[in-house]
Structure 1
């Protein structure tokens, strides 16, 4: 007998047979224990005996009427239900997940004071934990009991990392949903909406290159694979692909927050129905998966691991939303030309060309996803795998035809419609060129005919996504502060501090005995001279000039003048020569060009040119000046005046004639 905070349960409770219990406190203060076994479903309401949907499989329904008054306004006929999702019946260490779902009641259902649903809202199941209190207000209370199969452990995440996003998400450290090779999935809560979500925490130290490596640096290859998944999911936004709300990563860990799937995976969904789905039910699921692959392949993404475990169910009732999850093997195939060469996937669902890629070196395309989808849909319709995992998938088209012939003799395959068989043959083909694409599969007669059923399925698919919303932010992947790296640097710095040498002293040091003293340079030179009997030391060193080489420049203005700046000796290597004049000049070539243009017009300009040449000869290698080009506008203006203005010589001759005329007139 299990003793819990709820008190003693019924003596009929068996931990091997039962997975939980619900204790009802009635209006009069009495208590009634209802035990929950594998596959049981509890329906609580005013008149829960009338079920609006058909029940199938091993699911056992137990109606629990809780209202004395049949017209009680606070309780609906079907108010809420309790059901379980069991991922592995054979493994007792895998604890079943038990959910509470409001059945669109008028008054709502409350868990721990939180309204989890009522009419007009999306039907979202709430994952129950031991000790939760379910209320139908104002008078009805239920306490949930579920024994824990494992002792609570420490959360894998770094407390400093979790503190960075605690205002957005809260991780329930004592509620583990599953464990994998590198990470652990915990139950979490969105702080803003109080909605339950899943948080996968990956510890990079678990994927280190060496098993004995205790550093936080993980294998680069494995770390890239883990980060590639969140980068791909951050690009995707579709109602039939798992919604990654946000992902945080640091140098030690990675935290991925996704929607919770209260319906389990496709395997548990089939087990809950105790066998294959009906043709109509399977078409609803297949249509959603085809829509997901159509969108995925349009983005250039290939999943490469489609199987029932990676297909999640968001609602357990007929017409529930289905999503594609686990993108750990997914890749953007566009940079590779659409072809891939890695052998990835799960036996029984892997395409033949993928299984043989290592020997053929031909590669494969997104058609491999269509083969895996066909194998998953075949499981939906028949509850049998087309290729048992022990046999693998190294089969040819002829072998697949023989396999189909054998399978069609099975009773489960004989119940399939002709359209369903043709649909599966077009997907499960050994030649990838013969397979349908996602767009072609959506137009297949199994999906589109008969028209009345196809219209009903399409309407059902539109209804199931009416509450789905696109992700409202593009900032999905967030890097956390590098706190751990700073701590390691500080720790490393402290560990590198020098330890005093006990043998050292001012008079004696152990270094004299550990390291041989090098000979002095003087002794080396003397030994070399004694061996060569020479008075000089030979060397291969090439002397380098330490004095600056100064090149003097000179310039002339329009009058042929150039300032003189004698060089006061050579400068030493450490001194800086001042090669700048305080007066602006034009270059010698410019001055010579100006002089040539004016030589024919004026003798004065010719004299200026001659003077400039003499000055240049005298001042060669003696001046250090900086010359600046003359402004083009001033040059053009001066040229115009020189051409059109009176010449100096003509002015002098005219002046002489005037003097002679004045002298003659005065003599007369």
Structure 2
């Protein structure tokens, strides 16, 4: 600016640099000689596109698996070394690992300007020398009743830990060849104890090869121990996306037929599962096509003369009647089976919205389609199978028995069923589900909290006054997990 006037110019500067470290710590799932590693992206990409992720591995000394991550220095543990670079993926399978060795993993993000700092290390995982043979899952579990858990069983290792308990791999002292899983649940409150005892009663009444079997239970003043068969195959969805597995529609038929067999048996025992989802369908072994339905923490025994209303479940898989707080039925499970089938065939979640409220809205309108290109190679019989399950009125849905008689589940010889199904979208679905589980606040994980207990379910006043979704979104935020 001067006495004769003014002029102006502008410039913009883009400041770029290496990205931030990937969020959180990687999640891991174990196979006989391999480990699948999944992680989240960085919160900031450095101002430009992420070009890949570097996976680093650390082999721990034999005595170190239970030592906290920050207690080991690189000198003590042999240090970290790079094992792979991954592009356009948030998962990687590390193969040909040494049995009886313990590993940790971490991930770095990179762009054109360089690499990020490493993520937090994963939990340590020890590979076992051998897998339990398939035959062990077909023979009946024989465990004597009575006695004290600690005297009867030797704890071999911790398998997992959750809000309500810890799961261990255990060995019966009188029968060393029999390897089982023991879930130790703290039960300080009478209400918590009652819920666990109800789950035990339900599992005792379910004797079927497609359902997780309870071998024994032990009760003490402060905890309950549930001893169950030990399953080594991991989640079904993680198995079918592994590098060494080629998923076809024929495989999907085999898996869904087994799911329907297990669900049909439950329903003949007047029991509804109410939490069917991919995480609750497991494989016997890493090489087996045999599955098991697990987790009966939300299961209920239904009396058709007494309407039961519930308000819990996993948002993507719950049926419309739960959202509308209407009476549930055996076909409530079949809606979830339809969603599982849709996801397995396409890798897409049929009702997933940007928020839980959007998801609930899509479910109540039964708003889904087969327009995505992922369904181009899926047979019409498979689409018809799904369409007869994702029906708004539960009375109009196929039962599990009807599913087993369907054209899709009974066909085996069609050559088109051998066409390979692309699992890229299914891998992203699995990563998103794991990310959601790590990001949920504590109250979202309390999926076993009942909106109303059994006595309330049997109360005629509740039956006369349903609680529609528009009046209880606060309850959804508290109780869906």
- The 1:252–1:398 alpha-carbon spacing in structure 2 relative to 1, beyond 3 Å, is closer
- Counterpart of 1:184? 166
Any stretches of 5+ residues in structure 1 without a counterpart?
Answer: 1-14, 24-34, 40-56, 65-79, 103-115, 125-161, 206-217, 457-668
322 and 347 in structure 1: CA distance in 2 versus 1, 3 angstrom threshold: same
1:202 equivalenced with 2:195 (yes/no):
no
Cα distance in 2 for partners of 1:303, 1:63 equals: 37
State the distance in 1 between where 2:102 and 2:411 align: 34
Q: Which residue of 1 aligns with 2:403?
A: 441
2:320 to 336, 349, 352: 352
Kept after mapping to 2: 8 A contact 1:21/1:36: no
1:17 to 43, 50, 56: 56
- Describe the superposition over 1:50-75 as per-residue Cα deviations: whole angstroms up to 9, x where unpaired: xxxxxxx96565599xxxxxxxxxxx
Against the structure 1 CA distance between its residues 92 and 63, is the aligned structure 2 distance closer, same or farther, given a 3 Å change threshold?
A: closer
Contact residue 83 and residue 100 of structure 1 kept, 8 A: no
Query: By how many angstroms is 1:271 displaced?
Result: 4.4
Residue equivalent to 2:23: none
CA distance in 1, matches of 2:400, 2:100: 37
In structure 2, how many angstroms separate the alpha carbons of the residues matched to 1:353 and 1:443?
Answer: 25
The answer to whether residue 208 in structure 2 is matched with residue 238 in structure 1 is yes
The CA distance in 2 between the partners of 1:338 and 1:276, in whole Å, is 46
Q: Which residue in the other structure is 1:302 paired with?
A: 272
Are 2:179 and 2:230, in contact at CA under 8 Å, matched by a contact in 1? Answer: yes
Report the TM-score when normalising by structure 2: 0.58
Quick check: 2:57–2:103 contact (8 Å CA) kept in 1? no
Change (3 A) 1:381 1:231: same
1:326 paired residue number: 295
Q: Specify the structure having the higher radius of gyration (Cα).
A: 1
Residue 223 of structure 1 deviates from its aligned partner by: 2.0
C-alpha distance in 1 between matches for 2:338 and 2:120 = 28
TM-superposed deviation, 1:333: 0.5
State the Cα deviation string for residues 298-354 of structure 1 (Å, max 9, x = none). 00001011111111111222x4321111111011112x5364211121010000111
Distance 1:272 1:243, change over 3 A: same
Residue matched to 2:328: 364
Q: Does the 8 Å contact 1:38/1:84 carry over to 2? A: no
Tell me which residue corresponds to 2:360: 394
Contact 1:197 1:258 in 2 (8 A): yes
Q: 1:442 to 1:96 in 2, by over 3 A?
A: farther
TM-score normalised to structure 1 length: 0.42
CA distance in 2, matches of 1:37, 1:244: 40
Decide whether the 8 Å contact of 2:210 with 2:292 is kept in 1: yes
Identify if the C-alpha distance between structure 1 residues 230 and 453 changes in structure 2 by more than 3 Å, giving closer, same or farther.
farther
String of CA shifts for 1:585-607, please: whole Å, max 9, x gaps. Answer: xxxxxxxxxxxxxxxxxxxxxxx
**Aligned partner of 1:403 among 351, 359, 368:** 368
Corresponding residue for residue 3 of structure 2 = none
Q: How many residues align?
A: 319
**Would the alpha carbon gap of residues 60 and 247 (structure 1) be closer, same or farther in structure 2, given more than 3 Å must change?**
same
- Shift of residue 418 of structure 1? 1.1
How far apart, CA to CA, are the structure 2 residues paired with 1:373 and 1:91? 36
- Cα 1:18–1:84, aligned 2, differ >3 Å: closer, same or farther? closer
388-397 vs 373-382, which moves further: 388-397
| Aligned positions of 1:472-487 closer than 5 A | none
Measure the CA separation in 1 of the matches of 2:245 and 2:312. 29
| 1:415 equivalenced with 2:385 (yes/no) | no
CA drift of 1:241 comes to 0.4
Change (3 A) 1:290 1:194: same
Gap regions ≥5 residues in structure 2:
1-53, 63-80, 86-90, 106-118, 138-145, 419-481
* Equivalence for 1:165: 149
Q: Match of 2:135, SS?
A: coil
